[in-house]
Amino acid sequence: APAPPPAQHLFTDPAEVEALRGRLLAWYDECKRDLPWRTLAATEADADRRAYAVWVSEIMLQQTQVATVIDYYNRWMQKWPTLQALAQASLEEVNELWAGLGYYSRGKRLQEAARKVVSELAGQMPRTAEDLQKLLPGVGRYTAGAIASISYGQATGVVDGNVIRVLCRLRCIGADSSSPAVIDRLWDMANALVDRSRPGDFNQALMELGATVCVPKAPLCGECPVKQHCRAQRKKLFGKLTPVPDVEDCGVGGCPLCPPATEPWDSSLGVTNFPRKAAKKQPRTARTATCVLERRGCHGAPEYLIVQRPSSGLLAGLWEFPSLPLAQGLQEEKQREVLADHLRAWTGWPVVAGGLRFIGEVVHIFSHIHQTYVVYSLPLDGDVTLDPALSPSRWVTEEEFLTSAVSTAMKKVL
């Protein structure tokens, strides 16, 4: 087993832990934001319904801002107020409601998990973090801890980006906070700190502190309810950890949780020295030719042809304009030719490269791909009958397009 970290990075004093819990909970009771899933979780007597509300909100909140999620969450709960209702939804409906939230596999797995609860677990949610994580697809350690503590009162901690930031600052943890060794330590700390009588509120309070006070760039330390316990704040004010009498500043070199010796504490950064992360990998660049095929519909309004993507991989099952990934470094003329070839093979129409009108380029950043869509348009005067053996496709008006399961990138293309 690895040696325990130096005391500087731990909560070793039970009286201090009690005081920190009390201060944090009192602040949360007074200052917490009014969020729809919190209201439901607090008023709903049925623990499984509370768990469902927490679960939906937590999955939506992964990688997405609270302000964006509220509207999606409200529409979702209106349409599928229970797990049982969600289990009966089609994937197409789920994708339509999810459109714009990004990371589409999250919605898909939420629905798969709901079906699993209904068909294999007799409609009963698992009630511990361990079982939630083991039995439900798409439910990781964090989501399992959040559901179990908030809905079922299990005294288990949670570690998300906000908690990482707060704990790293409270205990001056400057080693790479995305490394498994540091993450494990943070989980140990979260599990040890969580309040035994109000675990759900405590976890939400810690996350709320990270979201509203201990924010990444300019934390509001003056208003922080736990500033007395914050060692990053002490280090900023006093240059070292004194006046904590029994804790030595372990400095750099050798300590697995201190900043690396090559990047020591930088006094101009203050508490934002923590947390630290290894440099992110650069997203790869990709180019895709996409063609907006347009015809006049029966009332003269334009209609567009959209096609469904495969059921796995990036943007699985979503609809898009006919598109073709391009090799790097292709000249514009060549791009147009390969796209014309693709459309000819696909529609059976005599599409020629010169008939495609170049419209412009649309850049969209996915988490790991810097994607450029090279956009063309092609007006058609007759109907196009597509081989049913190919991917599903359909003609839609602009309004139908906007309410279909299409990605944000495709909306930009339109």
Q: Using CB under 6 A as the criterion, what x/- string covers residues 249-288 for binding ligand SF4?
A: ----------------------x-----------------
Does residue 224 bind ligand SF4 (CB under 6 A)? yes
Which listed range, 18-26, 189-197, 228-236, 317-325, lies at the site for ligand SF4 (CB under 6 A)?
228-236
Does residue 169 bind ligand SF4 (CB under 6 A)? yes
SS3 178: coil
Give whichever of 219 and 317 is closer to ligand SF4, judged by the CB atom: 219
Does residue 322 bind ligand SF4 (CB under 6 A)? no
Single-letter amino acid, residue 196: R
What's the CA gap between 123 and 95, in Å, rounded?
23
Enter the tokens of residue 23: 């201060």
What's the CA gap between 5 and 284, in Å, rounded?
37
Which listed range, 229-237, 314-322, 348-356, 364-372, lies at the site for ligand SF4 (CB under 6 A)?
229-237
SS3 338: helix
Q: Is 91 exposed, middle or buried (0-12, 13-18, 19+ CB in 10 A)?
A: middle
Asked whether the beta carbons of 57 and 22 are under 8 A apart, the reply is no
SS3 368: coil
Count of residues touching ligand SF4 (by CB under 6 A): 14
What's the CA gap between 141 and 152, in Å, rounded?
16
CB under 8 Å, gap of 24 or more: what pairs does 236-245 form? 236/267, 236/270, 236/271, 239/267, 241/8, 241/172
Among 41, 53, 150, 166, binds ligand SF4 (CB under 6 A): 166
CB of 274 to ligand SF4, least distance (A): 8
Which of 253, 272, 259 has the alpha carbon at shortest distance from 179? 259
Which listed range, 1-9, 94-102, 220-228, 311-319, lies at the site for ligand SF4 (CB under 6 A)?
220-228
CB of 210 to ligand SF4, least distance (A): 8
Give whichever of 227 and 287 is closer to ligand SF4, judged by the CB atom: 227
Among 233, 273, 308, 323, binds ligand SF4 (CB under 6 A): 233
Which listed range, 17-25, 55-63, 194-202, 223-231, lies at the site for ligand SF4 (CB under 6 A)?
223-231
Q: How far does CA 3 lie from the centroid of its chain?
A: 33
Asked whether the beta carbons of 86 and 123 are under 8 A apart, the reply is no
What's the CA gap between 101 and 313, in Å, rounded?
17
Residue whose tokens read 């869509």? 373
Among 232, 315, 351, 362, binds ligand SF4 (CB under 6 A): 232
Does residue 235 bind ligand SF4 (CB under 6 A)? no
CB of 33 to ligand SF4, least distance (A): 17
Which listed range, 8-16, 145-153, 199-207, 213-221, lies at the site for ligand SF4 (CB under 6 A)?
213-221
What's the CA gap between 98 and 104, in Å, rounded?
7
Among 226, 247, 315, 356, binds ligand SF4 (CB under 6 A): 226
Does residue 21 bind ligand SF4 (CB under 6 A)? no
CB of 95 to ligand SF4, least distance (A): 39
Q: Is 190 exposed, middle or buried (0-12, 13-18, 19+ CB in 10 A)?
A: buried
Active-site residue list: 58
Which listed range, 92-100, 105-113, 188-196, 230-238, lies at the site for ligand SF4 (CB under 6 A)?
230-238
SS3 73: helix
Q: Cα separations (Å) of 71 from 41, 76, 77, 316, 410? A: 17, 9, 10, 23, 21
CB of 121 to ligand SF4, least distance (A): 39
Q: Is 365 exposed, middle or buried (0-12, 13-18, 19+ CB in 10 A)?
A: exposed
CB of 215 to ligand SF4, least distance (A): 8
Does residue 20 bind ligand SF4 (CB under 6 A)? no
Among 24, 148, 170, 172, binds ligand SF4 (CB under 6 A): 170
Does residue 221 bind ligand SF4 (CB under 6 A)? yes
Per CB under 6 A, residues contacting ligand SF4 are 166, 169-170, 213-214, 219, 221, 224, 226-227, 230, 232-233, 271
